[in-house]
Every structure is written in C-alpha cells, then in structure tokens.
A = this chain, B = another copy of it.
Amino acid sequence: MKRGNLLYAQSGGVTAVINATAGAVIEAARRRRVKVLAGRNGIVGVLREDLIDTSAESAAAIAALRHTPGGAFGSCRFKLGTFEANRAQYVRLIDVLRAHDVRYFLYNGGNDSADTALKIARAARALDYPLSVVGVPKTVDNDLAVTDTCPGFGSVAKYTAVSVLEASLDVASMAESSTKVFVMEVMGRHAGWIAAAAGLAGKGGDDPPHIILFPEVPFVEDAFLARVQATVDRVGWCTVVVSEGVKTPDGRFLSETGGRDAFGHVQLGGVAPWIAQRIKDRLGLKYHWAQPDYLQRSARHLASRTDVAHAVAVGRAAVAYALAGRSGVMPAIVRTSDAPYRWKIEPVPLTRVANAEKKLPRSFIRRDGYGITERARRYLEPLIRGEDPPPSGKDGLPRYVRLKNVAVERVLPAFEPEA
C-alpha cells in the first residue's frame, strides 16, 4: 500500500533544538519508509510549492540536526487568514499537497502555528482531501497551553541561568573599584518564563540575580532603585535581570515609554540600557548591561539535555500520531513527577492549544515581586538539567550541519502568497 508522503515545516522564532525535532521526525518517518518533504521557510514555501526533498540528505546529516541550532529548512512569520476569507490560498495549499502526494502534515511552531495547523486541517476536510495534520510544539517563550513545557525553553532557560551566574562572578570581582550593577535583558514579551529561569542562577538569599523584573509585575522605579541601592550596600554589587516585556503600572511597555526621546522618537537600545541609565542617573552607580538577543535562543552549545530529549520525543510522537491517522492533535509533554523528574508524551487536541497563552503563575513569583518561589524552582530546575554538547571540530567550532536542501521539482503554476 502506498502511504503518501509526510510534509514537515518550521514556523515562528527558531530555537536551539527545533532541528532536533526535525531530525527525529525524519528518522522516525524513514524507519516507517515514509518520504519526508519539508517546506522551505515554513508554510510560505508550501504555498509557493517550494518544497525540499529530505531524501537527498544522508543519515549522518539528519542525525546532526540533533545538535544544530536555527531552522534547517527556514522558518517564517506568516499567519493564514480564515478559510472563508482566503479560500484561494487554502485551495492552493491543498493543490500543492495533492500534487506531491502529501498525506501527513507536521507543523512545528508555537500557538500561532497551532492555529495554522488547525485551519489547514479544517480546510482539508472542507475540500475533501484526506490529510493528517499534527502540530509539533516549539517555542523559547514556554507559553504554549496544555503542554508542561515547550521544546526550546529548557535550553534558553539554561543559557540564561548560566550567563547570569558567570557574569555575576565577573561583577563581584569588579565591584570594589568599578562596576557595581549588572543588568541583563531576556526575551519574553508577554510572559516572564525566561526571566524566572534566570532565578536558577542562585539559590535565593544574596545569590544573584538579586532582582528580576517580570512582565507580570508593574515596574515602580523608586521601589526598584531602593532595592538596587540596598543590595549594593549589603552585598557590594547587584545583578538585575529584566524581561523585555516589563511594563509600567499603567500597562505600557517600559521599552516604549522610557525608550522615547523628547521628540517622541523611539530611542535606540532596549530595556536593559534604559534601566541601567536610571541606576546611573539616580544612584550614581557604575553599571554594565547585556542584551544577548538571538544568542540566548540559538546557543546550542549550551543546550539542556532535558530539552533536547523533549524535542526528540515530540518529533517521534508526531510521526506516530500522523501515521496512525490522527489529525488536529499535538504531542504534549506531561510531567508525572518533579523529583525524580519524570515525563511522558500524550496527544492533545490542537483546539486547546491554538491561540491560547500560558502565563507564568503568580505562585511562581516571590511575594515582593523581585524573585522566584520554591514552587518555580521545582518546576524549572529539571528543565535545564544535563548537557548535550555538539561535537567540536578541529577549528574549535561546533560541527553544525548545513543540509543540501534540494528542491522538489515544481509541477504547478507559480503562486505568491500574500501576508
């Protein structure tokens, strides 16, 4: 029996381990003798009929995806409209799938992508095209509903905690006659998961980070500065972690308010330099600040072993679900125990995931608003556990793979999707 092909595509911001999922998908499908096509740059490539034939890649290249950051087939930021308003787009999509005998579609992304996957599943039904659609979780933001965590988060959490620990050892050495405050910005525009992970750098008390600024806790400058000064007086120095999503008490992003100059132009820099400058202006303390940006989500050299295991497991499960004919589901990570840390994978309906957002629970934030609770530690700590270093080359660099990404021959007319 001919089973048809499987199409895999990546979506949204990439992570240190999304390729580990891709590799697991391809390996699982190969074991079942199912051919895997990939969308070049996510769903955009599918609409363009710009597909990649992963059969052209060696087993070694596919295995190396496990330790290669970024998105090996390219990702995209692209939302599909409703079926009703964008019927032509869906017809094109199904035409492409039909032309390449695609019977299984795996979309690897966050909550937007879960929504896209759902829309495609519905369109296939409406257009009477037999298709199994499976969402595959991925996001550094950890804000996907239902699943206990998202592949990608554990590694950015580990990067953040280790970086805060290392930079704090540096500041501690310099504080006597130089830098007294270090401010580091982290991702997470809508939820403070990554900011919370920074708390793992220390065990609480006077361990760094001394202050975490969460998007969930309104920023009150006077109280914050008093806390910085008290920390410097007591400890000698102070490490501050600030989420890019931190807001004023009236709900505006700090990066917008403080970030405007006298003419209303948005100023350069992010929240970290703004906070650092306030510390300098009002407390007169010497500072340094860091904004790791993409470094935090691409740092495969420092990936969490737990995170890699999650990424591989959801990829394998997604293939199993699809080949079993399930559609409109996503493999979720279910935690069965904190200590020892135990987890399993279970299918959940995409309807429960699409467009939902998992917030950082209030019980994870310390009462004073500047740190994490023991409950947060119990949740977060297993996620950064273990290393899974990439192999290193003679040139001192990790040996990351670059795929050939051979295009599948086009058979349909050209089509350019509109965003």
Q: Which residues of A contact B (CB under 8 A)?
A: 10, 13-14, 16, 41-42, 44, 68-72, 74-78, 158, 161-163, 165-178, 182, 184, 200-201, 261-263, 267-270, 273-274, 276-277, 288-295, 297-302, 304, 306, 381, 384-387, 389, 392, 394-398, 400, 419
B residues within 8 A CB of A396? 158, 161, 200, 304, 306, 381, 384-386
**Most B CB atoms within 10 A — which of A10, A166, A290, A419?**
A166
B residues within 8 A CB of A298? 166-167, 169-170
Given contacts A289-B291, A301-B162, contact A177 B419 (CB under 8 A): yes
CB-CB nearest 8 A-B residue pairs = A269-B269, A70-B169, A71-B173, A384-B396, A290-B293, A41-B176, A268-B273, A166-B298
Given contacts A178-B76, A269-B269, A419-B177, contact A70 B387 (CB under 8 A): no
In angstroms, Cα B259 to Cα A277, docked, is 13
A173 and B14 within 8 A (CB): yes
Chain B residue with minimal CB distance to A289?
A: B293
B residues within 8 A CB of A77? 174, 177-178
From B41, B295, B398, contact of A292 by CB (8 A): B295
B residues within 8 A CB of A394? 385
Q: Give min CB distance, A37 to chain B, whole Å.
A: 17
B residues within 8 A CB of A71? 170, 173-174
Q: Give min CB distance, A313 to chain B, whole Å.
A: 18
A162 and B76 within 8 A (CB): no
In angstroms, Cα B268 to Cα A342, docked, is 45
Q: Give min CB distance, A300 to chain B, whole Å.
A: 6
From B10, B42, B291, contact of A290 by CB (8 A): B291
B residues within 8 A CB of A387? 389, 392
In angstroms, Cα B161 to Cα A400, docked, is 13
Q: Give min CB distance, A80 to chain B, whole Å.
A: 13
B residues within 8 A CB of A175? 74
B177 and A44 within 8 A (CB): yes
From B166, B201, B293, B299, contact of A69 by CB (8 A): B166
B295 and A163 within 8 A (CB): yes
Chain B residue with minimal CB distance to A50?
A: B176
Q: Give min CB distance, A43 to chain B, whole Å.
A: 10
Q: Give min CB distance, A42 to chain B, whole Å.
A: 8
Q: Give min CB distance, A39 to chain B, whole Å.
A: 11
Given contacts A78-B177, A176-B76, contact A297 B44 (CB under 8 A): no
A395 and B385 within 8 A (CB): yes
In angstroms, Cα B346 to Cα A191, docked, is 55
In angstroms, Cα B267 to Cα A184, docked, is 18
From B69, B169, B277, B397, contact of A268 by CB (8 A): B277
Given contacts A75-B174, A173-B10, A267-B269, contact A293 B301 (CB under 8 A): no
Q: Give min CB distance, A294 to chain B, whole Å.
A: 4
B395 and A381 within 8 A (CB): yes
In angstroms, Cα B385 to Cα A197, docked, is 31
A301 and B166 within 8 A (CB): yes
From B201, B267, B295, contact of A167 by CB (8 A): B295
B261 and A173 within 8 A (CB): no
In angstroms, Cα B76 to Cα A72, docked, is 45
In angstroms, Cα B42 to Cα A178, docked, is 12
In angstroms, Cα B381 to Cα A394, docked, is 9
In angstroms, Cα B302 to Cα A163, docked, is 11
B residues within 8 A CB of A174? 13-14, 71, 75, 77
In angstroms, Cα B183 to Cα A160, docked, is 20
A398 and B170 within 8 A (CB): no
B419 and A170 within 8 A (CB): no
A165 and B268 within 8 A (CB): no
Given contacts A13-B174, A268-B273, A273-B268, contact A166 B392 (CB under 8 A): no
